[in-house]
Amino acid sequence: METGKKLNGIIDCDVHPHPKSYQVIQSYMSEPWKSRFNAQTGLRGMYDNPIHVNRLDSVTPDGGYPCSDPEFTRKQLLDEYGINYAILLPRAFVSRYSNPDFAAAIAAAFNDWLAADWLDNNNDDGRYKGSITVAPQNPQAAAREIERWAGHPHFVQVMMDSGSTAPYGQQQFHPIYEACEKHGLPIAFHPGTEGVGINQSHVAGYPTTYMEWHTCLPLSAQAHLVSFITEGVFEKFPRLKLVMVEGGSAWLPSLLWRLDSEWKPLREEVPWVKKRPSEYIKEHVRLTSQPIESPDDPKHLLMNFEMMDAKNILMFSTDYPHWDFDSPTRSFPKMPEDLKRRIFFENAKELYNLE
């Protein structure tokens, strides 16, 4: 990687690029999907932040949508904090569509746009790394989309919305994981479409407010993770890696304790789960840090880091340009340098095979 800027040993594992307009995405689509896709279908449609979803200073110099200009994003995020790499996760919200072919077409168009505008161009220093968007309700098309982009030097993972019609460990989704394992690409789950479109709510019924919905998003991450373990996904795909993005992390220790305690008396029911669930998670699962939990006493967060083995499984992220952005310099408590380097750089470097 070549850059004249000072780098601080940081990999940001959750940055959200946005097209300059929805017409840009349409330009990569063919009929009949091109005519059906517009600004309205591109929105989530429910549980939108009632105040503002993005940092107010992230609007581009020409008044464009936040994180739609690779050069401005490089200046405001990468160069401002000395970030070595940004892992890009576009928000296409494709899992909410009832038509699986339409969903797959939108995912493919977003991948074409991301490659053209962020990875192949405006990326001379190679600091932008991309995620292949796939539609989970169309596993066969998703596998073909992974095949289409797997050889690209700057696509480093596959991503799906965590809003779903079913827990992601179930067998109908396995063609996606088979393709990921084949090409050595992690699979990332990102919240945002829970209870929207065809997707099930992640809580008991449908929340009334954005605040309630947003607070409970980690429950979706936990449900998918438990499904991965109990369905034996990591036994079937032993080289697969899973990334839980933007779902928090403080819940992990208690979930591991409960999973391990349930497995001991019930492993006859799941004979394919050959090890303690916590062992699979340490070997196969990584979590991103944003939104980092902020207890009144910072020492409590460091205690939680120790309990969850953050030194080996937690990866730093900002969620730029969103309203709850986590700063590399202000959002974390003071911690030992070896722990900080693992969280901010080494864990992601190893997962994504970066230099």
pLDDT digits 0-9 by tens, 208-240: 999 999 999 999 999 999 999 999 999 999 999
Average pLDDT of the residues in 291-311: 93
pLDDT digits 0-9 by tens, 188-202: 999 999 999 999 999
Nearest to 163 by CA among 49, 251, 46: 46
- Bridge partners of 190, per DSSP, are 161
Does the pLDDT value for residue 119 go beyond 60?
yes
Does the pLDDT value for residue 2 go beyond 60?
no
Distance CA 336, CA 48 (A): 38
Question: If 0-12 CB within 10 Å is exposed, 13-18 middle and 19+ buried, where does residue 77 land?
Answer: buried
H helices of 170-244, in order, are 174-183, 210-215, 217-230, 233-236
Side-chain half-sphere of 186: how many Cα atoms within 13 Å?
25
Average pLDDT of the residues in 83-93: 97
- Bridge partners of 88, per DSSP, are 15, 130
Average pLDDT of the residues in 258-265: 96
User: Which residues, 6+ apart, have CB-to-CB distance to 115 below 8 Å?
Assistant: 130, 149, 152, 154, 155
Full-model pTM = 0.96
pLDDT digits 0-9 by tens, 145-190: 999 999 999 999 999 999 999 999 999 999 999 999 999 999 999 9
Residue 74 structure tokens: 């490089």
pLDDT mean across residues, the chain: 94
Distance CA 302, CA 71 (A): 35
Could you give the percent of the chain with pLDDT greater than 70? 97
Distance CA 291, CA 18 (A): 20
User: Considering the domain 11-351 in this protein, what is its CATH number?
Assistant: 3.20.20.140
Where in the chain are the domains? 11-351
Per the CB < 8 A criterion, the answer to whether 293 and 248 are in contact is: yes
Per the CB < 8 A criterion, the answer to whether 38 and 111 are in contact is: no
